[in-house]
A and B are shown apart, each in its own frame.
Chain A
Amino acid sequence: MNTGDTAFMLTATALVMLMTPGLALFYGGLVRQKNVLATIMQSFACLGLVSIIWIGYGYSLVFGPDIGGFIGSLEWAGGTVIHINSACAALAAAFVLGRRKGWGREPFHPHNLPMTILGAGILWFGWFGFNAGSALSASSIAVLAFFTTQIATGAGLLSWILTEWKIQGKPTTLGAASGALAGLVAITPAAGFVGPLSAIVIGFVAGSLCYLAVLMKNRLGYDDALDVVGVHGVGGLWGALATGLFASTFWNPDGANGLFLAIHTSLSSRPLEPGPPLPIPLPLVLLY
């Protein structure tokens, strides 16, 4: 047994555990004052309930001996398993439960934005355990995932508030928190498979894309109260596609080469060097 890896995984596990109360605070700050405890409780209760289910039979169902199952796609830390999955459930729930009373007529202002930002900070922190810990050892791949997580999240934050600044005139703190979350969600399936500059592009696109998705929500007419579909669904979907575009065996030999690298290697016989393929991020920055 490797003590370094064990220490790393125990720490990562505790970080991921912290994400659930973090999420509770993130959501709790966004609802009206009369609903904050119920919202927090919905996340918090999962800590108890799902732990019991997992020990009881969940672990065996998921990781036990296979019964005719399949898995084919490349997925780092839960883009499809977690984000697209939960967003589809969220979309279904928004349709089945219907809208909140007063939807479209009165604004639902977040009752406590500092609470939401605290939640976002804790989520970001915990996400290092989520993504880097998904290497399952304190290896160079864990390092890559840690780094791409940081840089994509920064990019998501920045691109959300820049888009917001352009379209609505002011960069908001809610936008910063949401943009960071969009970046985190999008990098999750790609974190251990892509290089740093790809991570910047993934985060940057995620921030703007999710912002536009959230902006369109009201026109589509469903009340996804705290934007699970717009951020986790759209972000997760983009992240999964982006993994297919940007993945590189230069960065992770156990991964695969994505579309861009396939095109590149078919055009030149030379494999990609680590370093800045500048033409990719620059136009994105210049757009604003």
Chain B
Amino acid sequence: MQPISSGDTAFILASAGLVLLMTPALGLFYGGMVRNKNVLATIMQSLIMIAIISFEWVFVGYSLSFGPDVGGFIGDLSWFGLRGVGTAPSPTYATTIPQLVFMIYQCMFAIITPALITGAFAERMRFGPFIIFSLLWAVVVYNPVCHWIWGSGGWLAQKGVLDFAGGLVVHLTSGAAALAAALIVGPRKGFKRESFLPHNLPMTLMGTGLLWFGWFGFNGGSALAANGVAATAFVATHLAGMAGMASWCFMEKIKQGKATTLGAASGAIAGLATVTPAAGFVSPLSAIIIGILAGICCYIAVSMKNRLGYDDSLDVVGIHGLGGLMGTLCLGIFASKLINPDGANGLLAGNPAFFATEAFGVLVVLVYAFIASFILLKIVDAVFGLRVPLEDEVQGLDLSQHSETAYND
């Protein structure tokens, strides 16, 4: 058994803390974009995931995702309640740090993924059914997909599909679920007739800053050691975030005449989400190109949303769904073994087969996550009812779901 490295342990613990911070940060990012009668309910939908999913993860989620493989599709339940998971390193995952560190680090990813979906049905979802849906979604969608790609023996991993920090596992699954949710829950009252202005953009920008900060833990920490790959991922993350912000603002300037702060925030998140699957496998210059593409494509996707007619309120599909999809394809193009010998060579390094593998991964995850989320939402809707009554929606979710108001004199 390898000895525990204090440097790696320190780094992954710090990274886990950073990723935890991303969930309240996401709450602020989304919270600033809704109307002020819904801000608390929106923040709460992210915040409560920390409690719900941490439980799910400790009892079944970690075992289903990373436990001993069953046919390549799911882990078994032999690590139920963390049985046998202790301070000794795992022989399979992150062998230089205690397994508890790996477990809690991955827990933070499981927390933020269902929180990302909440932007699609903001301002109209009932709180109780939302919790039930998220819990079921973690078991039915997140845990299996996580196992396929990151679990030892997962079938997509066996096929050679790579995903550095969650382009498929986190962003594409939540983006696909967001699309299903926007379609099933339906648009907000007044959609297309009135404009839903963000009530507090500084709050959104604060959330963006904290998300960016946390993303260094998300991507840098996914190296699972304080080594050269972590440095590659850290640099790629920063460069793609800044390139996404710049190119989104540039698109706005050309198309609408003014660059906006909301655009800067959205562009940064688009760049960060898109580079996520590629971060530890590509060069700094590739990361910049990925970020620029992300800003341009996500901007176009978001501005086309209204024409497509679904109310993805806070652009989860256009930013995270598209970002995860594009980032994974970009990994197929830009990956290079010169950067990370444990990675792969992509299209530009003369290996179209790897691009095809990544495209296959995208297709599988997209189809599975969309269909499974669609069915789950339909079931929860039929049994409990997902949407608040019209008068509650008009009154605002803060009062109707939580008996609170955000701002008082």
Contacts and interface: CB of A to CB of B under 8 A. Distances in A.
Interface of A: 2-5, 7-8, 11, 15, 32-33, 109-114, 117-118, 120-122, 124-125, 128-129, 132, 137-144, 146-147, 150-151, 153-155, 157-158, 161, 168-174, 176-177, 180, 196-197, 200, 274-276, 278
B6 A138 contact: yes
Contacts of B41: 173
B100 A128 contact: no
A205 to B, nearest CB: 15
A147 B403 CA distance: 33
A57 B174 CA distance: 53
Contact of B9 (A32, A113, A142, A153): A142
A4 B8 contact: yes
Contacts of A129: 17
Interface residues of B, number: 64
B10 A121 contact: no
B7 A138 contact: yes
Binding site secondary structure of chain B: helix
A120 B24 contact: yes
A127 B86 CA distance: 22
Interface in B129-188: none
A150 B101 CA distance: 12
B11 interface: yes
Contacts of B28: 114, 117-118, 121
B50 interface: yes
Contacts of B409: 32-33, 109, 111
Nearest to B82: A196
State the majority secondary structure of interface residues on A.
helix
Contacts of A113: 40, 404-407
A100 B203 CA distance: 30
Interface of B: 4-11, 13-14, 16-18, 20-21, 23-25, 27-28, 31, 39-41, 43-44, 47-48, 50-52, 54-55, 58-59, 80-87, 97-98, 100-101, 103-104, 107, 127, 200, 203, 206, 226, 401-409
Contacts, number: 189
A176 B9 CA distance: 30
Contacts of A142: 9, 13
A177 B46 CA distance: 12
B43 A114 contact: yes
A169 B400 CA distance: 11
The 7 A-B residue pairs with the shortest CB-CB distance in the complex, in nearest-first order: A121-B24, A4-B6, A276-B81, A8-B10, A140-B87, A4-B7, A138-B10
Contacts of A118: 24, 28, 206
A128 B10 contact: no
6 contacts: A140-B4, A143-B97, A147-B103, A173-B47, A200-B55, A276-B83
A128 B409 CA distance: 34
A124 to B, nearest CB: 7
A5 B21 CA distance: 22
Contacts of A112: 406-407
Given A111-B409, A176-B44, A278-B81, A139 B6 contact: yes
Contact of B10 (A11, A117, A147, A169): A11
A8 B101 CA distance: 14
B50 A8 contact: no
Contact of B54 (A110, A122, A154): A154
B145 to A, nearest CB: 23
A114 to B, nearest CB: 6
